[in-house]
Amino acid sequence: MIRPRGWDYNESGALKRRTSLGAEKRGIMTTGRYNSSEGSHIGTAITFLLIGLGAGALAGLLLAPKAGKQLRKDLRRGYEDAKDSLEDWADDAKDRVREVGERVRDAASRGAELADDLRDKVEPLRRAINRS
């Protein structure tokens, strides 16, 4: 029998496509389906969803019926808005960090004062114990 290149006969004598040596064992895609090596389908689905959303948004912007000048103006405006939002968020974060730092300093100084007061109150008791 003549066998086409890249094909083998299975046990029943039917032709089947030859796979590379150990392809199924190495997890190489042989049937056209994506198999995640970790078994996590949610992470893969979310990744592909985000890629699709990004590609769709880019295609929507580029294919929108606007003049190039208007599109560039809209993109610049969106960039400026995002930049302003990020700067506002950073300023808020800096303020919160500053407030927390002040609270920590206040708590530390109160703790140090409390420790000094307790040391002063305990000192006579310590002396009395040492004399005995």
Question: What residues does each domain of the chain span?
Answer: 67-132
- Which are the contacts of 43, defined by CB distance < 8 A and separation ≥ 6? 36
What is the rounded CA–CA span in Å between residue 19 and residue 6? Answer: 8
> Does the pLDDT of residue 56 top 70, yes or no?
yes
Whole-number pLDDT of residue 106: 94
Whole-number pLDDT of residue 68: 74
Residue 121 in 3-state DSSP?
A: helix
| Cα→Cα distances 52→33, 56, 59, 88, 111, Å | 18, 6, 10, 29, 55
> Does the pLDDT of residue 23 top 60, yes or no?
no
**Would you tell me the crossing angle of helices 41-63 and 68-131 to the nearest 10 degrees?**
140
* AA identity, residue 47: T
What is the rounded CA–CA span in Å between residue 132 and residue 121? Answer: 19
The pLDDT confidence band at residue 58, using thresholds 50, 70 and 90, is: confident
Mean pLDDT of the chain: 79
- Which are the contacts of 36, defined by CB distance < 8 A and separation ≥ 6? 43, 44
For residues 15 and 8, the answer to whether their CB atoms sit within 8 Å is yes
Q: Which helix (H) or strand (E) holds 8?
A: strand 7-9
Percent of the chain predicted with pLDDT > 70: 74
pLDDT in tens, 76-93: 898 899 899 999 999 999
For residues 123 and 117, the answer to whether their CB atoms sit within 8 Å is no
**Could you tell me which residue, 17 or 119, shows the higher pLDDT?**
119
